[in-house]
Amino acid sequence: MKNIVELGDEVKDKVSGFQGVADARFTYLQGCNRIQVQPPVKKDGKLPDSKVFDEPLLEVMNEGRVAQVLDKPDGGPKDHVSISR
């Protein structure tokens, strides 16, 4: 198992056993890297709260579980269409 977590990897916390997909990374000035982990939807259809863990405590279970879309429009400003008459 690798130790460096990439967003989209399925990970498991070595202490609590909490498991899910790494969906955010936080890097602090002090050099601490923390990863937000989103567990899957429950059988009742509810989405459990995500949790944040120190990166060294996470074990990668499945690399790239979620594909990252890189060539998708970002929803930012578009070409301006003139409406002057």
Select the more confidently predicted residue: 68 or 7.
7
Domain extents for the chain? 10-62
Q: How many CA atoms lie within 13 A of 50 on its CB side?
A: 14
Q: Identify the H or E element spanning 25.
A: strand 19-27
Model's pTM, two decimal places?
Answer: 0.73
Q: Is the pLDDT of residue 73 over 90?
A: no
The answer to whether the CB of 49 falls within 8 A of the CB of 23 is no
Tens of pLDDT along 23-72? 999 999 998 999 999 999 999 999 999 999 999 999 999 998 776 656 66
